[in-house]
Every structure is written in C-alpha cells, then in structure tokens.
Amino acid sequence: MRKLSGIFLVGLCLGAIGAVVVTARHSSAAAPQPLAVTELVTTASATPTPTPEPTSTPAPASETEPSATPTPASKVDPAKVTAAALDKLVGDGEVSAVVFDRERGAAITSVRADRAYTSASLVKLLIALSALEQGGPVAEVQRMLSRSDDDLASRFWTAYGGPSIVTRWVTKLGLTGTRPPEDAGRWGDTRITAADIVRIYQYLLDHKSAAIMTALRGATERGADGFRQFFGIPDAAAGQEWAVKQGWSCCRPTRMLHTSGVVGHYIVVVLTEHPAKVDYATGSKRVTEIVSTLLGG
C-alpha cells in the first residue's frame, strides 16, 4: 500500500508540473508581440526634386500646430509704418514695400509701390507660370523656385519664350510697371515693381497654383548657389507659416535684395537696392528689419 501511495504521489507531482508547463506555453503564445514600425517623416521643405534638400533648414510651422503666441502678421499696424521709418532702416539704399491684406482685399501699407527695380530671381515666378502652362516638368520648376536655381531658370527662359514670357504676363495680369530685360538673354534684368509682384501673388493664390505655392512654402535656407535666402520674410516671421520667393543680384551697378511672399493672410513684398559697397550680410539684415517693422515685430 505504501509503495502504491508513493507511485500515486509521484504521478500527482508530474501532472502538476505538466499543467504548469502547458499554462506557461499558452500564456507565452497569447502575449502581444512587438510590431516593426516604419515612420515616414515629411517636412514643409520637401519638394519632388531629384536631389535631397538640406535637413537643417527650419521649416514653416505646420497648419496643425499653430503657435501659442500671436503671429507677427496678426500685429500689423500700418499706422506705425512710414516711408521715413523704412528709409532709416535701409540706410543709403532704396526701399519699396507693400503689405496687402487678403481679408480686406486692399493694401494696408504701400511705400513707393510703383518704383522700378531689377527683378533678380523674382521673375522666376513668371517663368514658372509659363513653363507649367506649357506642360513643363513640374519637379524641376519647383526646384527652380525653392532653391532659386539659375541654371534651370535660364533653360526654361529659352525654352518657353524668353522676353515674351514677361510681355505675355504683363498683358494677362495687367502689370503696369513690369518690363522685359533690354538684353534678351538676361532674365534677371527684368524690371518690376512691388505693386506688380503683389498682383502676381494674387493670381497665384486666386488660381490655386498648387505646384508653385508648394515650392514657395518649401524654400530651402540655401539657394542653389549657396546663398542664404532666409533673409527678410523667413527670418522676420520665423516659426510662422510663410511661402516666399527671394531675389538677390550684384552689381549692375547696384546690389538688389528682394523678399516677397505670403505670411498668414498677408501678401508681403519688399524690394531694396543698395550701393555695391554694401555687402550681402548687411543688406540682408536691413531687409529683415524692414519686414519685421511691417509685421509689427
């Protein structure tokens, strides 16, 4: 009887051990397993171009993450902006500026809006319109704008009409102070005014030119030539939503530095001309101070 009881006890022990093993295996099989997650990261400066964009460039704030503080555009006070105040900021240079309120449908600040300047790269807006209208390569047009690529601009200028690009859009948009360059091959010598650049932006926004506006929102900090193009609007409206096209050139015989674009519901255009002795760093700082003043910063 004792021998039989011992065998019985051993059996009970083995059965208990087996139950534990089965339970452990069941628990292990039922436990959730970690999933491999691939995160797709996008930035405001991403454009469909064949070359990667700089990753260190600060991008405009996302529409889904509004700033907790008032945007510079929300503090615009046209009463505080005078021609004398802007002249003081530009030093020995020349300045024209327009702030157009799209909600009111009117310019709330206008200083020498009809003074003519050499366009530098601002004429790329018209080149882009012509290229896209004629079925040009969207990704390359966007790269021309976001990186201010002169080689692409020259190629498109030749391919899509040269000076007739300017004259055609002058007629279509009713531009009053814009003229093609005297030297047909020098697209950057196109003559422009602040008032006309505002009209171009109105057209882009009213006609929902998505490809162009996407490129302007994705402007890179450095242009294709290495120039830092975040002066003016990007620096003055840092952390806010903006879309910009910048322009710079020297020296025939002066230095041009222009900033133009959209900040909130404002179209902002600042055109400046400086003596050649004023370096780009100094001129860029002046333009940023002008925009900051316009936006109430």
Q: Comparing 130 with 22, which gets the higher pLDDT?
A: 130
Instruction: Note whether residue 162 is domain-resident.
Output: yes
Q: In this model, does residue 28 exceed pLDDT 60?
A: no
Task: Tell me whether residue 198 is in a domain.
Answer: yes
The two tokens of residue 177 are 């102070």
Q: Is residue 94 part of a domain?
A: yes
Question: Between 210-217 and 124-133, two packed helices, what is the crossing angle to 10 degrees?
Answer: 140
Residue 18 domain flag:
no
98 pLDDT higher than 60: yes
For the stretch 100-113, pLDDT in tens is 999 999 999 999 99
Q: Which residue has the tokens 């436990």?
A: 31
pLDDT band for position 78 (50/70/90)? Answer: confident
Looking at the domain assignment, is residue 86 inside a domain?
A: yes
Label residue 69 by pLDDT band (50, 70, 90): very low
What percent of the chain lies above the pLDDT cut of 90? 72
pLDDT at 47 over 80: no
Whole-number pLDDT of residue 223: 98
Query: Domain for residue 102, yes or no?
Result: yes
Q: Which of 70, 51, 47 is nearest to 59 (CA)?
A: 47
pLDDT digits (tens, 9 = 90+) for 237-259: 998 999 999 999 999 999 999 99
Q: If you average pLDDT over residues 158-179, what whole number do you get? A: 98
Number of structural domains (the chain) is 1
pLDDT tens digits, 111-139: 999 999 999 999 999 999 999 999 999 99
In a domain, 58, yes or no: no
Average pLDDT, the chain: 82
Bridge partners, 258 (sequence order): 247, 271
What is the CATH classification number for the domain harbouring 272? 3.40.710.10
In this structure, are residues 147 and 228 in contact, taking their beta carbons and an 8 Å threshold? no
For the purposes of burial, counting CB atoms within 10 Å of the CB of 12, is it exposed (0-12), middle (13-18) or buried (19 or more)? Answer: exposed
**Can you give the pLDDT at residue 73?**
56
Task: Report pTM.
Answer: 0.76
Q: Is residue 130 part of a domain?
A: yes
Range of the domain at 222: 72-294
Q: Is the pLDDT of residue 266 over 50?
A: yes
With vertex at residue 107, the alpha carbon angle to CA 104 and CA 109, rounded to the nearest 5 degrees, is: 125
Which of 50-54, 181-185, 217-221, 274-278 bottoms out in mean pLDDT, i.e. has the lowest?
50-54
Which residues lie below 8 Å from residue 120, measured CB to CB, with a gap of 6+? Answer: 188, 247, 248, 249, 256, 258
